Amino acid sequence: MNLTIDIGNTRVKTAVFEQNNIVETFFFDKKKIISEIQKILKKHSISNGIISNVATLSEKKTKKLQEIFNFQVVSSKIKVPFINLYKTPLTLGVDRIALVSGAVKQFPNKNVLIIDAGTCITFDFVNEKSEYLGGAISPGIYLRYKALHSFTANLPLINTFEIENFIGKDTKESIISGVLNGVVKEIDGVIADYNNKYMDLTVLLTGGDTNFLSKQLKSSIFATQNLLLQGLNEILIFNGYK
C-alpha cells in the first residue's frame, strides 16, 4: 500500500492507496503529524510513501518522519507522468505538480484545465499530448475577504459562502456579493477562454472551496476533492513504487 501526504499551512491530508484505489483518507492538525502517521502505519501495511510541501515542516519533525517510515519528497526534480513546458520549472509548486499528475492519469490524451480553489485559486492546463503549458494564480475567496479588511480602514472581515443578494443592501452584503460573484465570474470567464482555444476541454475543480463553487459555476466541470492525493500516488507509481 502507498501513503500519500499533503501538508498544508495548518492541516494535513493523507490517503492510503491500494494500487490506484483509495482505501482510507485522514485529516488532522499539522502539530499532530508524527502521532497521526504512526497510527496510520499501525493500521495499514504501508510499503511506500510520498510527501508534498515537506518544507513547511520543522527539521525535527522531518527527521522524525524519516525515522518511522521511508518516503519520497515531491520536488521539481522528481519524475512525473507529463512533459513540463513551464518556463521556470524549478518554481512550479509541488501541489500543482501533483494535481497535473492526477489529471493526466484520470484523463489521458485529453485537454484538461485543473482549477484548485483554496487559499489561492490556481489554474493549470495540460494538453492532449500530456504537455503542461502553465496556467494562472489568483487570490482565493478568504484571501479576498482578508485583503478588503486588512487594507481598508472600515470594512469588516467576512467569512461566508452564502450569497444573500446580487445587489448588496449594506456593507456586508456588498462585500459578499463582490467577492463571491467576482470569483465565480472570473472562473467561468477563464474556462470560456480555454474552451475557445482548445476543443473537447475537460475541467476539473478541486480544493477547499469546491463544494461552494461547483454549485455556482455555469460551466460543465468534474468536482473532485482528492485529486492532489491521487496525483501524489500516481507520481509514486510512475517512479516504480507500487
Query: Per-residue pLDDT tens for 218-227?
Result: 888 889 889 9
Q: What pLDDT is recorded for position 61? A: 84
| Grid coordinates given for 188 | 467561468
Long-range contacts for 185-188 (Cβ within 8 Å, ≥24 apart)? 186/121, 186/138, 187/115, 187/117, 187/121, 187/213, 187/217, 187/219, 188/217, 188/218, 188/219
**Which residues participate in catalysis according to the annotation?**
95
Report the distance separating Cα 204 and Cα 129, nearest Å.
17
Average pLDDT over residues 21-26: 91
- Binding-site positions for K(+): 116
Does this chain's domain 2-73 share its CATH topology with 83-232?
yes
Domains of the chain, by residue range, sit at 2-73, 83-232
Query: Per-residue pLDDT tens for 67-94?
Result: 888 888 898 889 999 999 999 999 999 9
Q: What pLDDT is recorded for position 139? A: 96
Place of cell 525535527: 60
CATH architecture of 83-232: 2-Layer Sandwich (3.30)
- Binding-site positions for substrate: 86, 93-96, 171
pTM: 0.90
Q: Does domain 2-73 bear CATH number 3.30.420.40?
A: yes
- Binding-site positions: 6-13, 86, 93-96, 116, 119, 171
